[in-house]
Amino acid sequence: MTETERLLCHAIDINGLNPCDRKRIEQIGFDRWLDEVADAPPTCQKHAAEPTKSKRKTRRNCVRCGTSFLAKRADAKYCSVKCRIRACRYPSETDSVLETSGTRMNTGGNEGGFQVIAA
């Protein structure tokens, strides 16, 4: 029984792996292969040339409060969940959404319309 057949009995399918890794699994076995690749760089020439994403954090300024923070993602805008939620709930006056919202403004038409009745 080959290693691929043994793994299929345990519902592990290695057909989605690249050919270099499948060949290595057949040579040394799945468990030893897992130990081997856990901390090792890719051995296959085709996959060794692929660029890896940098896990480096970048320093940014929060759009809402202006404090400096380390962004975990490249598209981070806010320093915390608190700032993100407040920015959504209370958008600034310069936001284009408020300019085109068409809300009514108080024109003062109701001023002076009330009388105080003395008892």
- Domain range for residue 17? 3-48
pLDDT digits (tens, 9 = 90+) for 31-70: 888 888 776 766 656 655 556 666 678 899 998 888 999 9
pLDDT digits (tens, 9 = 90+) for 66-102: 899 999 888 999 999 999 999 888 886 434 443 444 5
User: How many structural domains is the chain composed of?
Assistant: 2
Residue 111 lies in a domain: no
Are residues 39 and 15 part of one domain?
yes
3-state secondary structure 41-88: CCCCHHHHCCCCCCCCCEEEECCCCCCEEEECCCCCCCCCHHHHHHHH
Say if pTM beats, i.e. exceeds, 0.85: no
